[in-house]
Amino acid sequence: MEDPGTTATILTAREAGLVACTGCGRLDHIGEPTCSLCGASLDSRDEQSLQKVWAWMIAGLIAYIPANLYPMLETETLGRVSDSTIIGGVIELIHHGSWGVAAIVFVASVVIPIGKFLAIMFLAYSIKHPDRTSSLTRQHLYEAVEFIGRWSMIDVFVVAILSSLVHLGSVVNVNPGIAAVSFALSVAFTMLSAQSFDSRQIWDADRRVAA
Amino acid sequence: MPVAKAYTRAELDGLVACPACDALHRRVDVPVGSRSRCLRCHTVLTAPRNSAMTQIVMLAATGVVLMVAAMVFPFLSIDARGFSQNSSVLDAVMAFSDGIMLPLSIATVALIVFLPLLRLGAVIYALAPMAIGYAPAKGAARAFRLAQALKPWAMAEIFIIGVAVALVKIAGLATLTIGPAFWAFAALALVMALKDTLMCRLTVWKTLEQRRLS
């Protein structure tokens, strides 16, 4: 296998006057509107990609704020109501001694979303302002973001299960809080943001610097 | 930029571009069981498997059966101080069904039941006719494209981890009984993951193309 650093010898579809379908890999001449095999619309590069990335990401950031400020769960124990936010839930789990589960929730609802915001910002910024990070590293970062992002939904599902299951008359009741909605929206928006990113631009920028 | 040359269809079909970085490669026959990667960004291009088509269809069909089982059988029940509460998967996802929370309920049903089922159905529709007979069904390309687009949004496996976390949270409060639907759902998550590892999309598209023409 060739060393990934020596990319100068590689010809891209765009440089050959071709456009590749990202769905099925088939090639057509630049200018074809749709893929003749799978019917997807063809775009050599998605020119509006970065705008879409930033727009969805800002929407995701905005939704992430109330997701942390408002309660995820409202627990009613013997008539006493207590609210818990995302962080509150994690702290509660630590008090119960469930370190492992606390770690899962903390990673899924805090580390992954924030890491994802930073990673997408860095990737989008690096297209316009090339830096020393290699294209290969950035490609791997993008793949990680795309793969991991959906796992943030865990906490929303936890709220759904708890609030359907825990309805024990006057003893204890659990209801979903408004933050569950904002959090779910935030995850969906950042997933759309990551999907809008056209990873081929990472490699184009690299090519411009080398030239 | 070099002058664009007009390629024939056969020449174009002899090439493949990396979907992640757009690097052009010559299409080579990859031996069954091994995989080809992009020279530049190392994205896996093709990974053909022996009789993958039949196995994928079988796994997808298994997934549908498991999903039905997960809907029908009891999922979880809890007991505490004389009160007990049963929950099916549908109860779990309809937890948000009052007022402003309703859209979230609908989204949850979509993410853990409807979209995974739709995706399994699309895979079966696109591949089963080719696995059993030879020629693909009409609209197979559209169905497979749908299955590809739905991939990030079908979250059955994430739901099962969510259930595990919820169980730990409840464990202190009440006695829990795990029903057959829970295990059906867990098996479903495994079956879907296995199906996705077997499925090599460029090979599927190539097969679809060849069999559509003949």
- For the segment A119-135, the average pLDDT, to the nearest whole number, is 86
Q: Which domains does chain B have, with CATH numbers?
A: 1-48 (no CATH), 52-213 (1.20.140)
Q: Any CB–CB contact under 8 A between B122 and chain A?
A: no
Quote the CA–CA distance of B108 and B113 in Å, as a whole number: 8
Is B164 a residue whose pLDDT tops 80? yes
**pLDDT of A204:** 84
Q: What are the angstrom distances between the C-alpha of B108 and each of A160, B102, B104, B105, B172?
A: 9, 10, 6, 5, 26
Q: What is the pLDDT of residues A60-80, one digit of tens each?
A: 999 999 999 999 988 888 778
Q: What is the pLDDT of residues B10-45, one digit of tens each?
A: 888 888 888 888 888 888 888 888 888 998 888 888
Judged by CB atoms closer than 8 Å, whether chains meet at A23 and B172 is answered as: no
CA B180 to chain centre: 22
Q: Any CB–CB contact under 8 A between B211 and chain A?
A: no
Is A7 a residue whose pLDDT tops 70? no
Å between B116 CA and nearest CA of chain A: 14
Q: Which of A116, A164, A167 to mutate to test the interface with B (most CBs of B within 10 A)?
A: A164
Considering only residues B174 and A71, tell me which one the structure prediction assigns the higher pLDDT: A71
Residues from chain A that touch B85, judged by Cβ atoms under 8 A, are 165-168
Secondary structure class of B61 (helix, strand, coil): helix
Å between B141 CA and nearest CA of chain A: 5
Å between A143 CA and nearest CA of chain B: 9
- For the segment B79-92, the average pLDDT, to the nearest whole number, is 80
The answer to whether the beta carbons of residues A161 and B168 sit under 8 Å apart is no
Considering only residues A169 and A164, tell me which one the structure prediction assigns the higher pLDDT: A164
Is B105 a residue whose pLDDT tops 90? no
Reported ipTM: 0.86
Q: Where are the alpha helices (H) located in A109-199, listed in sequence order? A: 112-128, 135-148, 154-165, 179-196
Give the chain B residue nearest A45 (alpha carbons).
Answer: B22
Banded pLDDT at A208 (limits 50, 70, 90): low
Segment of A25-34, A185-194, B136-145 carrying the highest mean pLDDT: A185-194
